[in-house]
Amino acid sequence: MIIDIKEFETLLHSINRCYAKGIADKLPRVSDFSNAFQGQKTDTNLLLNLLDHNSNIYFKSVLLRLVAIAEFRHSRDLGLKIDTSKVYSQISKSIQILPSDATISSIGSQGFLSIPLFRYDNDIAELDFIRLHIWDNSLKKYIDNKICENFSIHTHTFHAESWIVCGKILNNRFKVEKSDTASNYSLFIIAYNESLNEVNQHTSSANNTNTFVSVYRSSEEIYNKGDNYSINAGDFHSSNSEEENGLSATLFCFNAQKGFVEQSYVVGPSDIASSVINRKMHIDPTGLINRINEKIKSNERKT
């Protein structure tokens, strides 16, 4: 896959900002990849050849992630099938070779571990935010599971899409309508305070708009390894892992070019005025990454 210099610069900047701020000065710059360029272009094979000629773990991590994200975006944007195993393999290696605190990894409001991989947002109408999501029962100790359950039905500001790396994901879609009479559910909006990291989770709270709603589940969908599904901006859904021990992983993206709305909402209990959202910052992802790798290898041996 050929990459021109302008695209490479965008890739590198958007990937570097998804590492912890504390290692920003250790991350490679465009000039560090000059040996892989022929004029104003390079390709993923030339870039991967650099792995054998550089021992710097930060360079290797960024390089692996850059090639993975470049191929992921290329396939996604052309509507081609994404080789999730290949992409995930490169991403997992990029995480494993670094100290834990170099990786941004935190639990979001829905109870899964979120690891940002790429974020481009120079123009909000072109936002492209790619993350690795990991579900596992071991993460439940870090969150208030009651809050997670009460506020599981939500919309996104941007078009969202997930590709299943391993495990099984249950996605429910909902029809939510405003009600003229009191009901058990209301619409909430999320209020953010100062960001703890510019590309990852903020601390936040769900605040009741005092708008009563009726909620109807319109579909229940199960997705397995190799599947993908999308959620239109503004549509209500909830998703969770249905795998044994809860271990599932997905490649996830927000893509504004496929649609975005001005406001996102969460459905919650109408008798609650506000609630602090689960935001546990930095959890070492290494053990979960290792378990996912073992799970993928085990499934490959069975086929």
CA-to-CA distance for 172 and 181, rounded, in angstroms?
25
Residue 191 in this model has a pLDDT that exceeds 70: yes
User: Rounded CA gap, 158 and 140, in Å?
Assistant: 27
Q: How confident is the model at residue 196 (pLDDT cuts 50, 70, 90)?
A: very low
Task: For residue 106, give the nearest of 276, 278, 281 by alpha carbon.
Answer: 281
Give CA–CA dist 5/10, Å, rounded.
9
Beta bridge partners of 224: 168
Handedness of CA 71, 73, 79, 81 (dihedral sign): positive
Q: Position of tokens 């209500």?
A: 236
How many beta carbons lie within 10 A of that of residue 288, not counting itself? Answer: 21
Q: What pTM value is reported for the model?
A: 0.94
- Quick check: 192 pLDDT over 90? no
Q: Residue 177 is encoded by which pair of tokens?
A: 């309508």
Query: What does the pLDDT look like over 10-41, one tens digit per residue?
Result: 999 999 999 999 999 999 999 999 999 999 99
- Kindly report, residue by residue over 214-250, the tens digit of the pLDDT: 999 999 999 999 999 999 999 999 999 999 899 999 9
Start-to-end CA span in the chain (Å) = 29
Q: What is the pLDDT of residue 193?
A: 63
Q: Coil, strand or helix: which one is 133?
A: strand
Structure tokens at 19: 């590492």
Residue 22 carries which side chain, given as an amino acid letter?
A: G
Decide if pLDDT at 303 tops 50: yes
Domains of the chain: 2-96 (no CATH), 106-282 (2.60.120.10)
Q: What are phi and psi of 139, to 5 degrees?
A: -80, -15
